[in-house]
């Protein structure tokens, strides 16, 4: 049981390039989330998927798109990367979107946009 896995671990992009961050969970969770972590700002929600087939915007969705490919996988796409998107990206999952549910986090993807 690997939990939540993310690929790649580290990526360097040039401004304007695109890339997709991959996330998968093997805990049969219904809900999945993408966060970014910036120094001094904690984690901020980018997008989430309460259940397979649904996605919704979080606090900072601009410049990103997501796809809930199936129950296990939730990808985050940067269509045209900008230096402001340099950050550490975390994927998380929970059994349901319920308020008392614990979220389980992946190891993160460090992204540097030059």
Partner 1 sequence: AQSVAQPEDQVNVAEGNPLTVKCTYSVSGNPYLFWYVQYPNRGLQFLLKYITGDNLVKGSYGFEAEFNKSQTSFHLKKPSALVSDSALYFCAVRDPTGNQFYFGTGTSLTVIP
Residues that bind partner 1 (CB under 8 A): 4, 31, 33, 40-45, 48, 50, 56, 58-59, 90, 92, 97, 99-100, 102-108
CB closer to partner 1, 59 vs 79: 59
CB of 19 to partner 1, least distance (A): 20
Q: Which residues pair with 47 in a beta bridge?
A: 34, 57
**Residue 102 burial by Cβ neighbours in a 10 Å radius (0-12, 13-18, 19+):** exposed
CB of 53 to partner 1, least distance (A): 15
Q: Compute the C-alpha angle 108/110/43, nearest 5°.
A: 60
Task: Assess contact for 104 and 94: CB atoms under 8 A.
Answer: yes
CB closer to partner 1, 12 vs 18: 12
Task: Round to whole Å and give the CA distance between 66 and 42.
Answer: 21
CB closer to partner 1, 19 vs 50: 50
CB of 87 to partner 1, least distance (A): 14
CB of 17 to partner 1, least distance (A): 24
CB closer to partner 1, 26 vs 79: 26
Question: How much is the CA Rg of the chain, to the nearest whole Å?
Answer: 13
């Amino acid at each position: 049981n690997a939990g939540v896995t993310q690929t790649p671990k580290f990526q360097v992009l040039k401004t304007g390039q695109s890339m997709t961050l991959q996330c998968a969970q093997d805990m049969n969770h219904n809900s999945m989330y993408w966060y970014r972590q910036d120094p001094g700002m904690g984690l901020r929600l980018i997008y989430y998927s309460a259940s397979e087939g649904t996605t919704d915007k979080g606090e900072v969705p601009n410049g990103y798109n997501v796809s809930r490919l199936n129950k296990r996988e939730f990808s985050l796409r940067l269509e045209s990367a900008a230096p402001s998107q340099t950050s550490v990206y975390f994927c998380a999952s929970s059994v349901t979107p319920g308020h008392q549910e614990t979220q389980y986090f992946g190891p993160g993807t460090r992204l540097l946009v030059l």
